[in-house]
Structures are given as C-alpha cells and as structure tokens.
Structure 1
Amino acid sequence: MSLGRVSAVAAAIALCGACSGQGSGRAQASSAPQGEPVTAVGCPTQAAESQCLTIAANGKVYDLAGANVDMSRNVGVSIRGRAAGEATECGLKLTDVKVEYLGLSCGMAPDPYGPDVKDPYR
C-alpha cells in the first residue's frame, strides 16, 4: 500500500466520524470556481428527506448525484473531480467524477434477513 493511499485512508477514518450529519439538503452559499480540482475522502451520506447523496470535505458539501456511488458497499470513498461552478440544493456540483472505494467501513449493511431477525451485535 503506498504512502498516499495510507494517508487517504487515515484521513477518511478521521473524517467519517463527523460526516454522518452532512447533506441536509441545502447547498452552501460559496461555490468552488468552475474547473477547480476537487478531492474528497470520507463516507458519502444520503439524506432521506431530500434524496441528496453528498460528501463533506474542506468545509464544503459536494453533490454526488452524477457520481454513481454504490451505497450498498457501505465503505468510504475517495472522490476526484472538477467543480462545475454551481450549487444544487444538495451541495456543490461536480463534473468528471472518479470514485475509488476504500477499505473503510461507513456503516452496517442492510440486514439480509429482514427486520424480524435479531442480530446480537446491534
């Protein structure tokens, strides 16, 4: 594992504990300049009330609507893309998004046995 990858995983671990409240459905007033490179590492969050899929990094919330993030994996991601120069109701819009899945757990997978089966570890 390269030093850069170890650093990205370490950053994701530090960020994931704080990212559970992101994605409130309101974009931040400031936006990144169009074409600016963006890298975000952490746990993507899907807000139930707004259907927004977001990730927080560098004090900003990014809209991952077009990133095709597979939430069923329940792992952290490293997102690389470019700022589109505009904000949606979910966050700052990105273009040319590349997603890398990390080995960091972001939550429990849906219960394959349904809600009636009790898992002793929950």
Structure 2
Amino acid sequence: MLEKRVLQFAVLIASIVPIGAGLAGIIIGPWTFGARSYSVDLISHVGYLSGLLLAIGLLFVISVPNVEKHKDRFLILGAIVFIGGLARLYEGLLTGFGTMPHQLALVMELIITPLIVLWQRRVARLSGR
C-alpha cells in the first residue's frame, strides 16, 4: 500500500526532530536551546526532558515497520507531544515564543504530530486494523 509507505517515510523524517533535539539536550545541555545562564537544576531538568524527547522519537521509529498495528502507541505518543505543545504555547503566551527552532517545534507539536496520528489511524483502518 503506497499510503502506508509514505506514512512510514513521514514518520521517519518527523522523528529526526525529537531524536536530534533529545540527543543535543543530553550531550550539550541547555546551551543547545540558547540558555546563557544556567544552574545545576536547569542542566538536570533539560537532561531529563531531553531523554524523554529522545524516547518519544525512538518509539515512533520502532513503530515504522508495522505502522498500521500501532494505533494505541501513536495515540499515546501523540497525546504526550500535543500536551507538551500546549505547555509550550502557554509559556509562549506568557513570555514570548523564543527563537525560530522553538516556534517550529510548536508547529510540530500542535499541528504535524496530530496530523500524523490521524494519518496513522486512517492507514490502520484501510488495512483492516
């Protein structure tokens, strides 16, 4: 099914974002995200959240081979990403929306990821799942 293959490719491409940002946050720390001043607590928090981001990306990637079988996984991961995006939106309304990478992350969290979840559900339905 062509649509399944295109979805698989889209998920792989989209997963580059959380995997890359997660690894950068783990390896480089808050400096990755433009922090100029920091505390040990901020470094710890960024490291933890970056690990979660990496895990989200990896879970999407391991779902690719049988993408049509993972409705629940996509829904849970998508909800986590969406809720994170709502938190980012809230903070942005309070303090400003930051740099372009953070603005693009908001688009990924509130628009692209929900569309991928809906697309996965369509592919699952078409495959009889």
**What range is the shorter-chain TM-score in?**
under 0.3
Q: Which has the higher helix share?
A: 2
Greater CA radius of gyration, 1 or 2? 2
TM-score, normalised by the number of residues in structure 2: 0.25
